Structure 1
Amino acid sequence: MLAHELMHRHAAIMLRTASEHRSIPLDDYELFLSALKQVRAQLVTIKHELEDALRNRDPLTGAGNHIAMLTALRERQALAPRPTCLAMMDLDHFREVNDTYGHTLGDEFLVQYAEFVMSHLRPHDEFFRFGGEKFLYCAADADLEQGRAIAEQLRKGLSDREFFVEGYLPLTVTASFGLTLLDPSVPVEQSIERADQALHDAKAAGRDRIANWQAPN
C-alpha cells in the first residue's frame, strides 16, 4: 500500500475511534505519524525532481536546454562504444518568418516545431534547443546510417506538415540537418561543433537536406 493510502487509512481509524468517544491508542497515532512522514518525504523528492526538470528545460519549447544537453551527452559518451548519432537541426529561412509575421508568431512556430519533433522521439532519444531555431537531436544506439534515416523521416515530415497559428494562413517549413557521431575521444563540445559544421554544409548545398560531417583531409 502506498504511503498516502496508509496515512488516510490510519487517519480514518483514528477518526472512527474519536467519533465513538474512545481514546486513540498510541500505536494508531504513531502509525499515522510514520505514514505522514513518508508522504512528506515523497513530496520533497517530487518537488526537487520538478525543480531539476524545470531548470533543464527550455522555457519556450519544452526541449532540453544547453545545460541538459551537455550533461546528457557526457553521460552518453561514457557508454562508449555504443554509438550515438547527433543531428543539428535548423529551420530554413526562419528569419523571414520573424521579419514577416513578428517574433510572437515566430515563437509559436518554434513551439509547434519542437512539439512535432518531440512527438517523434524514439524511447531513448533526446532533443535539445541549442539556441534560436537550432536544435540538437541525440539518437541513442544509432550509427550514421540509422541517424540519417531518423533525420530523413523528420525532414520529410516537417516539409509535409502545415503549422497553424490563429489569424494566419497555414505555414510550411523545411529544415536542414548536420550529422555526426558522438566521438568518445574528444570533448562533447567538439562533437557538437562537428554536427554544426555539417549543418552549414547542408545549408550551403541548398537547404532542406542532410549532410554528414566530413573529417578534414
Structure 2
Amino acid sequence: GKMLIAMFLLVSAFFIFRFFRSFYEVPPEDFMNAGLLSALAIIAGEFLVILSSFCTIWMASDELQDELSEIARIDPLTGLYNRRAFDEYCDIEFSRAQRSGAPFAIIMCDLDHFKRVNDQYGHHVGDEVLRRFANTLKEHIRKHDVVARFGGEEFVLLLPGKDTEQGLEVAEKLRAKTADTQITIGDDVCLTLSASFGVAHYDSSDREWSAVLHRADNALYAAKKQGRNRVVDLATKNPGEECLSRTPSVIRI
C-alpha cells in the first residue's frame, strides 16, 4: 500500500515537472528573470527532488521496521519462531476455532537428557544439537504448521486442522525421526538422541488457547515421568486421569 502511494506521488510529480518545463526552458540561474511558467517549472523540479528523498527515506524506514519486527519474532539460535510469535499464531487459530469449530492440536516436546550433552561436550555442541533438532521438526511438518522454540531445549508446535489422533501421528513421526538420526559434530562427537512429546487438542469448552498448551505441557511431563522417548496424550482435561501413551524403547545418549 505505502509503496504504491509513493510510486504514485513520484510519477505525478514527474509529469507535473514535465508539463511546466515543456512551456518554458530557462536555466536555474535565470530564475529571478524567468517568467511565471519557468519559475513554476523550477519549483516543481525542486519539489520532485525533495519528494523523491522523502519517499526513499519513508520506504527504507518502513522496510527496516518490518525487518526489526520479524527479527523480534525469531529465535536467534535455531531460526524458528520464538514464544512471542507462537502466541500470536495461537491467538489467530483459537479465534478461528471458536468461530468455526475447526480443530487444532498443540505438541510440546523436549530433548531427553539434554543437560548431559552440555555437561559432557560443552554448550557449543549443545547449541548445535538444538539447531539440528529444530531442523528435524521444521522439515517434517506442513508449511502452515507453526514450530517455535519455547525455551531451553523445549519446543512447541501448533497444528491447525489436526485433532488429537492426528497430532499423535505427527508427534510419533517426529519422535521416531529424532531417535533414528545420528548427530555428528566434528571428528569426536557422535550422538543419538531421543525426545519426549506431549499432545493436546482444542476443546469447545476452552476459554483460551493456553488451556490447550497447559494440557500439552502436562502430557509432556507425563511422558518424562513414564521413561522419556515417548508420545503422550492426556485423554481428559484432568491430568491425573487415564492417558494415551505410545512407549517405544528408550534411547539414551
Q: Considering the TM-score relative to the shorter chain, is it more than 0.5?
A: yes
| Residues in 2 aligned to 1:193 and 1:28: alpha-carbon distance in whole angstroms | 63
Q: Deviations over 1:150-179 (max 9, x none)?
A: 112211111111212224232111111100
Compared CA separation, residues 148 and 31, structure 1 to 2 (3 A): farther
What percentage of residue pairs aligned between the two structures are identical? Answer: 32
Structure 1 position 189, deviation (Å): 2.4
Moved more, 62-71 or 122-131: 62-71
Q: Gapped runs of 5+ residues in structure 2?
A: 15-25, 29-40, 242-253
Pick one of 146, 149, 154 that aligns with 2:166. 146
Compared CA separation, residues 183 and 45, structure 1 to 2 (3 A): farther
Moved more, 177-186 or 193-202: 177-186
Aligned residue number for residue 115 of structure 1 = 135
Aligned residue number for residue 68 of structure 1 = 85
Q: Gapped runs of 5+ residues in structure 1?
A: 11-21
- The number of equivalent residue pairs is 208
Structure 1 position 42, deviation (Å): 3.2
Pick one of 211, 226, 239 that aligns with 1:205. 226
| Residues in 1 aligned to 2:232 and 2:60: alpha-carbon distance in whole angstroms | 47
| Residues in 1 aligned to 2:27 and 2:220: alpha-carbon distance in whole angstroms | 74
Structure 1 position 118, deviation (Å): 1.6
Aligned residue number for residue 106 of structure 1 = 126
Higher RCO (CA < 8 A, seq sep 6+):
1
**Structure of greater Rg:** 2
TM-score when scaled to structure 1?
0.80
Q: What is the RMSD of the two structures over their aligned residues, measured on CA atoms?
A: 3.1
Aligned residue number for residue 50 of structure 1 = 67
Compared CA separation, residues 125 and 23, structure 1 to 2 (3 A): farther
Structure 1 position 30, deviation (Å): 6.3
Question: Is residue 181 of structure 2 the alignment partner of residue 161 of structure 1?
Answer: yes
What amino acid is the match of 2:161?
Answer: D
TM-score when scaled to structure 2?
0.70
